[in-house]
Structures are given as structure tokens and as C-alpha cells.
Structure 1
Amino acid sequence: MSGTLALASAIAEMDRSELERLVRRRRPQAPAGVADPIGLASELLRPEAILRALTPLRGEALGGLLRLAQGEIRDGDETILDALRADGLVGIEQHRPVALPEVTEALHQALRAAGTDPDALARPRPAGGTSDARTIRPPETAGPAAVAEEHTAAGAPDEDEGSWVTAALTAVGHAAECLRLLRSRPLRLNRNGSAAVAAVRALAESIGIEAAQATHALTAIARAGLTAPVATALLVTSEAESWLAADHRGRWSALAVAASSAMPEPLRDALGGSNALAAAAASLPRRYPLLPAPELAAVDDFLADAEYLGLSSRGSLSRTGALLLRGERSRAQRLAEELLPDPAPGVYVQPDLSVIVPGPLDPRDEAALAALTAPEHIGAASTRRITEASLAEAFADGTAPEEARALFARVSLTGIPQPLDYLLGSLAERVGGLVVSESLDGGGRTRIQVARPELADTLAVDRALQHLQLQRIDDTTLASRLRVDHVLTALSDARYLASRSQPSRPAPAESGSPDEAGSPDEAGTAADETGPRGARAPAGAAGRGSPTAAAPGMSRAAEPPPLPAALAELVERVHAAARAEPGSGDFTRRLELAIRDRATVRVTAEARGRLHEFVLLPVSLNAGRLRASDPAAGVERTLPVNLITAVEPA
């Protein structure tokens, strides 16, 4: 027996707002073919549509469906059934809720596949106890959160504030290093938009962190809108510069707010007012018996992200994390400002050219130091190293030797040790003797200016530079038709210390254009040349792991976005059809269903005080009249709908 008629009756009783909510939640796959409640009911009773609607339901709601099918409605089930009717999972007959056979069958199959006993789930949970419905849940689908079963809302461990502060400072440091590297070297993405494993590993090695930490950092900055995928590369967005210009407190707040907004809704529901995050995650297989394994895995990923960012510590929300999840951003920010340390007064430059950074620095000092050093260890306290290569790269990017010396003299709490003084002096003697810039006079794509004519002679005959096809312009000027980056790389490989002249250019647009990306034959180097400084993500682009909806009390809009045009038109058609039916709604819906299914029905009509019964194959229903063929008599009959007193299956 089909539940289409019962569901169509429930749909016909909905007002416009209820109907819109139903369509928004269930999202019919073929809206153009739906013209009336019967059509919408048929769409919603497709097996795949039913399963999508069942999987996010809590165990109490599933138990209510099972008890309704068994005819055992209990106290408290009315509220559950009202919600399920609004979701198109319960029908109506004679103004009473009824189970839909298609939903009941799909629910039993899904519960068996998930290892849940339907009879146990249908039994009400004992007061103060737990349901025994999950009897054979495969351990691999429960997720690593199950190890935190011993944490409870009442007995969560006291928060260790020091641990979340350390985690927060470490995460901010990792995120900043990732963004600085991505500005010059965009991350390669797979065709599905995920970060390539090898690319993540290379990024982690470049900044001295573990690959798992790099993955967490990339997720955090993507959620905060600091990166966005463009084609097959992950680029920084315009928001990244303002984030890097903020202090460590502001940076952490931005990452934490974005992460808290991305908490999976089942976990948010299970958490309630508790701080026991791991315990809430461990309870999900019981609360949501049909929650798919990928969603359970997403919950476990969120737990790891929360620990990484300092939103939680050892399975329990930190005080700041709890405030953010309750939507109290201002209080959370004030608490973070109180608990996170002030910027460190300086760094310790060692004779071995290592730099000990005891804590977060002023953003400008941090950026300048990062440009002159290479990261070795990034954490709440970090270690960086000064090398000839790091200084040469900074000088090539436009930093003057005098600026580097002034920075070290200002931020170093130990002064400038003799090895660093020697290295700065040695490099200063060679900087400025070889300057590479874009050619503006048509003599070639790149212009090379040297300090002495003999250096120009050396470059012109150096076999390692033959592929540059250098052309002599005058005694101290050479030109090459290759790009600036190619020339700089070749000179570096040949052990010439060259710096790059930075011509003044207009500010880049917010989104990358074809010209910025380079011509097709230069696609392999366009990202390296312009990098994310010149290519910004298009408006609305979202990085991996970005949230799809804001959390309650955070930045969620008061009104839901408008329905897509196709779904809005569906709502109008169904709402109008439900109110335009002549005669008895139940009879006309039965006839419409028979027309749709090409099924015969037994129709009883009253005329002049006498009842007449026909077995008919309905053909059409229009203008208050039923047109149908009578197979037994071999004729076509037309009956006024207002004379029909009963319609039953033949």
C-alpha cells in the first residue's frame, strides 16, 4: 500500500510558510514536474529522498516513527510526530497522523544496515538511562571520539588554561607562516579541489612543522576566508593581509570564530549547554543512529581542529571556546585578550645565527624578521635561523642591508653577534652590484644593470647563463628576452648575488584576471611570478573546510535566503492546487493518484437519492468533472465530482 495519498493530504493542509519550509528542507530533485500535492508527495517518497531525510534525525524521532507504524503512540510522541509531519515523513488520514509505508520500510532497512535493532529503538528510553538500540554498530564507524566515552557533562575535567593558550599561540604561528609561504608559492590542488598530499608535506617541511599540523592550519585559514581555491592552486585572499597585520589576539579570534561557526550541527545539538566536547561526540552514534560515517568522521576532524586551535583542551571546551559556541563573541574576545600574553619585547640572536623568539611579536617586527630568516620550529616559542640564503633572498626582494642591520639591532635582546655582523657586512659589499628589472624600452623583457663593466663581460661569456641569450646594451647594461624570474633564478644558480628592482605598479584587483594569470604557455610559472599578491580569490570563493552555515547566535542571518526560482515556483503551484480542488479533497486526491498511476478505482456517486457504483479508469479531472472509461461497459463516463461520495481501490 502506498503512502502517497496520506502524505499528499498532509501537504494539502500546509500553509504557504509550512510548505516553503518543507521544500527548503527536502529539496525535491525534479521540481519542474511537480504541480500538486500528489506530485510533491511522489517526489518526497522516492527511496533516496526518504533516506536523506532520515539520516539527520535523532533516535527519539526515529523511535516515534517506528511506534506510529506499530500503532503505539505514547505520551510525548505528538510533538515528535508534528515535527515529522512538517518534514514530510508522516501522513494524515481523517485528521490523524499515519505512518507512510515507504518511510517505514526505508527506516527498517537503514537501521538494519547501521546495526540497530528497530524494536529496541522503538522502546522509550528509561528515565536517567540510555537506549540499548545500538547493538552491533561496527567499531570502525564509531570514530576515534569513542575513546572519550568516560567524559560526561557533569564530570568533565577542569580546564587547563595553559594548554589552550599554548595551542592558540602555536596555531596562530603556523597559520601566519602558511600564509606567508602561500603568497609566494601557491599550494597545488587536486582536481577535486583538495590539497595534494605531496604539496602539504612540502609546505610543512618548508616551515618546520608536521604535515598534520599543516593540514589543521590550512583548514583554519580556509574557514576564516584567508585562502581560496582558484583553478588548481590555493591562493591567499585580500583578507589575509589585514589578518597578518593584526596582533596575535586578533588573529586567534578570527580563526576561532570561523572554526566555532563550522561545528557540525549534530555535535552542537549533542553538546547542549555542556563543555564536554569529546563526550558529546562519543554520544552521537546513539543520538543519531543513521548518521553516516562521513559525518561522524567530520565530527572527529572538528574535535582535532578544536584541540589544535585551543577551542578545547583534553576533550573539554576552553572558557573562550564555550563563549564562542554560545555566540558571546565580545566576552570571548575580552577573555582571550586577558589570557593571551602580551607581545614579547624582543628576540635572542645567538652566535650560531639561530634566533630564539620567546613569544608572539609585534606584527611588523614579525613580518620583517620572517623575511630575513628561515623557520626551524614554530610554536608558542619559536626558533628561526639566519642564513646567507635567507638574507640574500630578502635583499633580492628589495630589503636594503642597512634595514636588515637596523632591525636586528632593534629587536635583538642580545645585540648583533660577531658572526651576524660579518655576514651582513660581507653580503652588503655584493648587494647592488647586480640589479634585475623589467625592461621598459623594448630592448628585451628583462634588464640587467651591473656596477662594473668587467662584471658585464663575465656575465656575457658565462656558459651557465648562455640560455638567457644576454645582449649587451652598453658597458653596464645587459638585456634578456626571458622573464625576470627566470633571469633571477639562473643568476642565483650560477652563484651571482642579484637583487630585483621593484617598479611601481597599480594595486592588484580583488580577483585575478586572465592577464594576471599569464598566457597559456606561461601557466606553469604564472602563479610563481605573480603569486597570491597579484591574484586574489573571486568574491564568494570558499576554501577547503569553509563553513556552509553560521552557528546560532553567531553570524547567521535572521531570515533564510530565498528559495531558488524552481523551488519557489513549485511552492506556488502546489499551494494553489491544494486550494483549487473542487469537492472533497480526499476524493479528488484519490482520483488524481489513480490518473497518475493509471489504476482503476471503485467510485460511488449519489444521484436523485440513489447510490450508483462504478469501476472506472480515471482519465482526467477538470472543471469539477471526472472523465473516466468504464472497462466493463465499454463506454466513457463523465461524473460531477460533487456527486461522488466514495473513492476506493478497485
Structure 2
Amino acid sequence: MSEPARSYADDIRARTDIELQGLVRIRPDLARPAPVDVSALAARAATRPSTQRALEQLDARLLRVLEAVLVAGRSGPEAAALLATDEPDLQPALQDLWHRGLLWLSPEGLRPARAIGEVLSHPAHLGPPAAELGVRPPADVAAAVGDLGEAAARVVDRLRWTAPRATFNGPALTAARDELIRAGLMVRVDDTDGLLPREVQLVLRGGRLYEHGLESPATAPPTRPQDEIDAAAGAEVLELLWRVEELARSWESAPPRVLRSGGLSVRDHRLATQTMETDAEQSAFLVEMAAASGLIAHDGALDPVWAPTSAYDDWSTRPPADRWALLAQTWWQTARAPSIVSTGSAGTSVNVLSDLVTWPLMRGRRHDVVRVLADLPEGSAPEIHDVDAHLRWRRPLRLPEGSPTRAEVVLREAAWLGVTGRGALSSAGRALVDGDDVAAAMAKHLPTPIDHVLLQADLTAIAPGPLEDDLDRFMRLAADVESRGGATVFRFTAASVRRALDAGLSAADVLARVRAASRTPVPQPLEYLIGDVARRHGQARVGSVGSYVRSDDETALSTMLADPRLAPLQLRRIAPTVLVSPVSAGTTLDLLRDHDHTPVAETSDGGLVLAPRDAHRSPSRRSGTPPVAVEQVDEAAASALVTALRRREASEAERLLTQSGPRIPETDPGETVSVLQDAAAEQVAVWIGYVDETGATRRALFRPERVDGGRAVGTTDGSPARRTFAIHRITGVAPAR
């Protein structure tokens, strides 16, 4: 660390370039937008919003060390005693907090930044000091506690490690509170509430902030062999890929409509659940992940539907490990929270794929939960309450006691995805956390695809493992899946064979593919089934017609057929007096009229349609929710920023040497307030530039006494009279050297 400084701002200004780069990388909000100089950077770091964000990144160990320094006033033996440890044990944490800009080095030791006390108003659940409450606790708090009655003693014991303030309802509790107030151990807040002063609470705790000091949660979860974990994860991956492919096949032939409000209807969600043979929660998860991966999307038509994309066609041809990798990495990065679909909020309905299925904090929560598993010994399968304890240790300000962690949601999704197996982190899941090649990590644990099936005499075929992609697609086309598991059972039916023929295969093609794939002879019943269906296939033809034109004058119809201007209608004669077209009736009517024919529209029973047609209106559509972007400052950006700040600092220093008298640089309001508050705390004078009532810019040597409410109050130029300056009228501030 640098040499001791007079103030927090001086401590920041005295840091080396490497230390400043580390600061802006840890706290990227300090670099967006870029500050004008190092002083502006220090002022921004001292603000409450920036300090709040920095505190939310601390784990419980760092936060407790910071609270000890805040309660003690500075680092040293007193702070170490509050955590029941020695000073050397705190040095790594103190250095980390200094590098984060949460402590600054004064001649007396490390002190907390001013905004720390504003954010942590009740450090370690302690109340305000007795001096702030205007009371004086008894000289011997322990003796006073020993003289309490049974009810008051129970109250004190209950409040020992919890919040200092409590509400007392009922005569018995009110009497206990009054006894504590008379003993000087509690301060009356209002008719029902009482508050323990900080000094009293510290004595009750034996001079410690926390019961267990700096000890992290101790857990001994059961462990499982890693190969069993990876095998279970691989099996889940096969189920995952199968379900996504079944969803895509279903939506290829019968795409569901997009709701006017966006998303998927409850009915279509239920059908998707049945298609994927799972429950509503998992089907919502799979649909959301497929959409977030770009495998399904709405087609953008006037009447939009959800359907597979061209990206799905490319994805479906990749190896299984690569297909899984896309879904896993999407889950790791997306802010979509499919669990909201099943929970929702009171009185509202949240549809799958709607804009409401978004929770920006979900991505960070996934990272925290999975990293808890990664930090445990290999093969550990902790219980939910153990994961909750570790999460609260990692994020004590974001996840205080009693708040939901959603760990069970993340672990359930991780199990569906194969990131975990049997409750423990898989090798591929660890690769996902470490940023390694997840596809290669998962490929080792997926069974090798096989290239054959075993045909049975009862028109079934058994696949003793996962099939190669080409064979799997053919079997799902020509047969129905009857059961799945370690082996998949396919059944040939008349409908399944007809499905293969409808796809363009001939009976000979189907038999040839079956013979090539089977390790057993083709049963005669299967040959008969394929031949019988093929003989009847295509005997009757069905087509679609958008409109027809009929006339008793065959010559008029022949003229229409010969007119090249009517070629877009693709007219075809099916009877001497009837023409058909694939174009809609309205378009056909308009085009015939445009080219000197005089048709009229008719109803299905031959009546004339004389009323004008209603104009078509497309349904309203909502724009999608923009992705959540989190800006980070990399090493190159941090280096460039600090270089620019130093260049500006050198330029200002050179300018000061060429002018007479003190120079007051322009400062933004945040920096102005920060410098004035530091000066008031240190009771030192500063130079200020300000705009007076006439609009002229003046300067003064100002000694601030109080800075609040957008105003600074103090004395100027040694005069005893107090003056008040509005912050918005102060153009700049500089220390008086």
C-alpha cells in the first residue's frame, strides 16, 4: 500500500498506475463514463451508489472485516479483537479491501471510506452508539444484566446476536422493556419499540461482532464417485436432446400461434409437455432454452407462429456433445428464468416465451450456485440448506437471512441439463464454470452411437443404445417410439410406414434401409405390411384450391386460359365450364376485373356477393425484451483509462507552474461535495471558486463546517462570520497547500 494520506481522495490520488487499474477493474462503474481526472475518479468512488455496488460484491469474510474496522474506527488490535482473531490474520482481507477502494490508509491506520457508514448503518446488526442516542449505559453492563428479571433476561438473550431494535406488544413484554430502560440497557424509541445501544450489545456478545467470527459454513456433504456422476449426467443429456428434437418435430408440422401479448398459450404449452413426455416445469425450461439458443422463433408473419429456425437444421446435424454445449452455454449466459412460468406472481399468468419470463439477477444466481458446487470437494452432493448457507456467505448483502436464494431452482435446471449428476457437479459442469471446452468434456461421457437395430417378429425393432443420427431419423420417420430407456423400442404400423412414403421414400427404399440397419432378418409380417401400405398409397389424390371460376360460356373460359396477363392465377380447367386457381378468391376477382373480364363473386350455394369485403387487419405484436448487458473493464481498457488520467494530471500540473497564485480546477458536483465533506471532517480549509449574485466568478479560502442539503456552511478568509454556498454555484474546489 501507499504512504499514509490526509484523506480518502489523497489516498486514491497517491496510488500507482497498476493499483488504479486494479481498482477500475474491480469496480467497473468508476470507468463509465470516463472521469476527467484522478480526483474525479476518487470522488466517484466515494459516492454512496458506487460504494453500495462494491459492498454487494464482498463475501462474508471481507464484509465482517470491514464492519470490524467501521465499529473500531480504524484497523488495529481493537478491530481484530471484535472478530476474535489476531492482526496478522486480517492483513490479507485488509489489503483486499484497500485495493477495492473501501478502506484508505491514514496515519493512524486503515479507515473506512465515508460512505461505508452510510450504507452499513447497522454493522453486524449493532445499534447506534450510546452517544448518538443521548444516553449513558451502566458502567458494569454485565452486572446490570445479571440483576434483570427472568422476562427481561430472555429479551436480552434473544436480541444478543440479532437486530438491536425490537417491538414489545402486551403487558408482560412492555414491562420487560421498561425494566431494561430503567437499567440503562435499552433506549425507548416509541410506545412499543426499544433499542439496544451499541456498547451494550457488544458487552452482551463478549466483545465480538459475530458468534463464529470469520468461520465459513462448515459442511460435510456426501460424496459420490465422479464416473457415476458423469454417467448420470450423460444420460440426462440424451433425454434433453431427445425432448428438444421432439419439440422441433412437433412444431414443424403443427406450429403454435404467437399470442397477441407475446409468448405461448397455456394450451400449446400443455401440448408441448405431452409431446416431450415430461412435466410443465421442465417443458417450460426446454422451450425457453431452445428459444434462447435460437433453435425456435416466431416466423414474423402477419399471423406469426413458433417454429424451428434454420439454425436448428444446422444444430440437428452436429454431434450430440456439440448440441448439448450450445444449450448449456445458453443457460449459463441467459437472463431468462423459466421457473417464473410455474410460480408467477399473485393474480397474474406468466406464459412461456413471454417478455415476463426474464429476471436479470438469474444469471448471477446460476453462477453463484454452480460455483458453490465447484468449490466443494470433487463428487460432493450437498443438500439445499448447505448450498443456501454457502450462498449467504458469498453474498451476505444480497442474500440476507430469510431471503429466497432460488438455489433449488438452479439445481433442478442443472440436473435437467446434465451440469450435475446425482446432485453433484459433473466434469462437463466444471468445464462450464472454468470456461473450458464443454463439448469435449461432455463427449467423453456420452455413449457411442450404434448403427443397427434388432427386428422382431411382432413388428417391433429394438435399438440397444443411442442410434446414429441418420438411422435415428429414419427409424423415427418409419416407426413409432413405443418405449425409451437403456434400449429404445420402435413399432412399425401402417400409419408410420405411410409417413415414410409421404416423405418421398418408396417401399423398396424402406425395405432396403431396414435390411441394412438390422442385425436380424426382416420378418415376413413387416415385408407384408410395407408392401400392403405401398399398394394402397396414392390411389386417391387430394389437392387444394384457393378459388374457382365457372361460366356457361366455354369460350370465355378458354379466353381466360389463353390470356398471358392472367398467368399469375395459374388457372387450370377441371371441367368444360369450371376453372380452378390456387390464388384466393378476392385476388382472382380483382385480377380478372383489371384485365377486362367482368366476373362477380358468389357464395357456396350460388348466390351473388354484392357487399364489399372487410379489410384485413394484422394482429398487434410486441417487441422482444432486449438482452441484459453487463459492461466489464478489461486490462487494456483499464490501462488506457489510467494513462489518460495521468496525462491530464500532468497537463494540469504544468499549467499550475506557469500561472501565479492558486489555480482552482473545475470539478463536477459529486467531486465538489466529496472534497468539501472531507475538508469538514478533517477541519481544514480549501480553495473554492464560486459564482456570486452578479454572475461574476470569484474565489475564497473556505473552511467548511457542514455539507448537506445541497449547501456548504462555513467561514471564509479567517472571518468568524458563517457563509452558506449553494453547491451548484461552486465551480471548483482545490486543497489549500
Q: What is the TM-score with the length of structure 1 in the denominator?
A: 0.59
Summarize deviations over 1:188-241 as a string: whole Å, max 9, x none.
778998766654432221233333333444466567664568878766555533
Task: Give me the whole-angstrom Cα distance separating, in 2, the residues matched to 1:378 and 1:247.
Answer: 20
Give the match for residue 57 of structure 1. Answer: 58
Unaligned runs of 5+ in 2: 1-5, 81-86, 127-158, 164-201, 334-362, 549-568, 586-615, 658-662, 692-697, 703-715, 726-731
Task: Give me the whole-angstrom Cα distance separating, in 2, the residues matched to 1:377 and 1:51.
Answer: 55
Summarize deviations over 1:55-81 as a string: whole Å, max 9, x none.
232111111211221332532433323
Residue 239 to residue 472, structure 1, CA distance change in 2 (3 Å): closer
Aligned pairs for 1:135-284 within 5 A: 151=221, 155=223, 160=228, 162-183=231-252, 198-218=267-287, 221=290, 226=295, 236=308, 238-248=310-320, 251-252=323-324, 255=327, 264-267=366-369, 269-270=371-372, 271-272=374-375, 274-276=377-379, 278-279=381-382, 281-282=387-388, 283-284=390-391
Shift of 1:122: 5.0
Give the match for residue 705 of structure 2. Answer: none
The structure 1 residue matched to 2:583, chosen from 455, 478, 481, is 481
Task: Give me the whole-angstrom Cα distance separating, in 1, the residues matched to 2:32 and 2:431.
Answer: 42
Shift of 1:12: 2.6
Task: Give me the whole-angstrom Cα distance separating, in 2, the residues matched to 1:196 and 1:17.
Answer: 55
Contact persistence 1:207–1:377 (CA under 8 A): no
The one-letter code of the counterpart of 1:211 is A
Give the match for residue 672 of structure 2. Answer: 596
Give the match for residue 461 of structure 1. Answer: none
Task: Give me the whole-angstrom Cα distance separating, in 1, the residues matched to 2:88 and 2:305.
Answer: 56
The structure 2 residue matched to 1:365, chosen from 455, 458, 471, is 471
The structure 2 residue matched to 1:286, chosen from 393, 400, 405, is 393
The one-letter code of the counterpart of 2:273 is A
Aligned pairs for 1:406-555 within 5 A: 406-411=512-517, 413=520, 415=522, 418=525, 421-422=528-529, 425-426=532-533, 428-431=535-538, 433-434=540-541, 472-474=572-574, 478-482=580-584
Partner SS state of residue 98, structure 1: strand
Residue 343 to residue 354, structure 1, CA distance change in 2 (3 Å): same
Task: Give me the whole-angstrom Cα distance separating, in 2, the residues matched to 1:230 and 1:55.
Answer: 42
Task: Give me the whole-angstrom Cα distance separating, in 1, the residues matched to 2:579 and 2:480.
Answer: 33
Task: Give me the whole-angstrom Cα distance separating, in 1, the residues matched to 2:477 and 2:369.
Answer: 41
Contact persistence 2:689–2:700 (CA under 8 A): yes
Task: Give me the whole-angstrom Cα distance separating, in 1, the residues matched to 2:332 and 2:724.
Answer: 69
Query: What value does the CA root-mean-square deviation take over the aligned residues?
Result: 6.0
Partner SS state of residue 85, structure 1: helix
Q: For structure 1, which segment, 264-273 or 356-365, has the greater mean C-alpha deviation from structure 2 after superposition?
A: 264-273
Partner SS state of residue 120, structure 2: helix
The structure 2 residue matched to 1:75, chosen from 88, 97, 115, is 88
Task: Give me the whole-angstrom Cα distance separating, in 1, the residues matched to 2:60 and 2:667.
Answer: 37
Give the match for residue 457 of structure 1. Answer: none
Task: Give me the whole-angstrom Cα distance separating, in 1, the residues matched to 2:53 and 2:113.
Answer: 16
Task: Give me the whole-angstrom Cα distance separating, in 2, the residues matched to 1:39 and 1:400.
Answer: 77
Shift of 1:123: 5.0
Contact persistence 2:431–2:441 (CA under 8 A): no
Residue 548 to residue 93, structure 1, CA distance change in 2 (3 Å): closer
Identity over aligned pairs, percent: 18
Summarize deviations over 1:363-396 as a string: whole Å, max 9, x none.
0111223334555655554455656665555555
Residue 425 to residue 268, structure 1, CA distance change in 2 (3 Å): same
Task: Give me the whole-angstrom Cα distance separating, in 2, the residues matched to 1:29 and 1:193.
Answer: 38
Partner SS state of residue 285, structure 1: helix
Contact persistence 1:90–1:100 (CA under 8 A): yes
Aligned pairs for 1:89-104 within 5 A: 89-93=102-106, 97-104=110-117
Shift of 1:99: 0.5
Give the match for residue 619 of structure 1. Answer: 690
Give the match for residue 155 of structure 2. Answer: none
Contact persistence 1:259–1:306 (CA under 8 A): no
Task: Give me the whole-angstrom Cα distance separating, in 2, the residues matched to 1:399 and 1:188.
Answer: 31
Give the match for residue 198 of structure 2. Answer: none
Contact persistence 1:9–1:37 (CA under 8 A): no
Partner SS state of residue 160, structure 1: helix
Partner SS state of residue 573, structure 2: strand
Task: Give me the whole-angstrom Cα distance separating, in 2, the residues matched to 1:41 and 1:388.
Answer: 78
Partner SS state of residue 690, structure 2: strand
Task: Give me the whole-angstrom Cα distance separating, in 1, the residues matched to 2:533 and 2:423.
Answer: 53
Task: Give me the whole-angstrom Cα distance separating, in 1, the residues matched to 2:665 and 2:473.
Answer: 70
Task: Give me the whole-angstrom Cα distance separating, in 2, the residues matched to 1:225 and 1:344.
Answer: 30
Give the match for residue 414 of structure 2. Answer: 306
The one-letter code of the counterpart of 2:274 is E
Residue 166 to residue 200, structure 1, CA distance change in 2 (3 Å): same
Contact persistence 2:461–2:489 (CA under 8 A): yes
Shift of 1:423: 6.8
Contact persistence 1:591–1:618 (CA under 8 A): no
Shift of 1:111: 7.0
The one-letter code of the counterpart of 1:619 is Y
Task: Give me the whole-angstrom Cα distance separating, in 2, the residues matched to 1:188 and 1:569.
Answer: 50
> Considering only CA atoms, is the larger Rg found in Structure 1 or Structure 2?
2
Give the match for residue 489 of structure 1. Answer: none
Partner SS state of residue 88, structure 2: coil
Task: Give me the whole-angstrom Cα distance separating, in 2, the residues matched to 1:42 and 1:269.
Answer: 34
The one-letter code of the counterpart of 1:173 is W
Shift of 1:289: 1.8
Shift of 1:180: 3.4
The one-letter code of the counterpart of 1:596 is T
Unaligned runs of 5+ in 1: 133-148, 438-443, 448-468, 484-519, 527-540, 550-556, 605-612, 646-650
Residue 614 to residue 216, structure 1, CA distance change in 2 (3 Å): closer
Aligned pairs for 1:286-365 within 5 A: 286-292=393-399, 297=405, 299-319=407-427, 321-322=429-430, 325=433, 329=437, 333=440, 336-337=443-444, 340-343=447-450, 345-346=452-453, 348=455, 351=458, 356-365=462-471
Contact persistence 1:9–1:92 (CA under 8 A): no
Contact persistence 2:392–2:399 (CA under 8 A): no
Contact persistence 2:447–2:466 (CA under 8 A): no
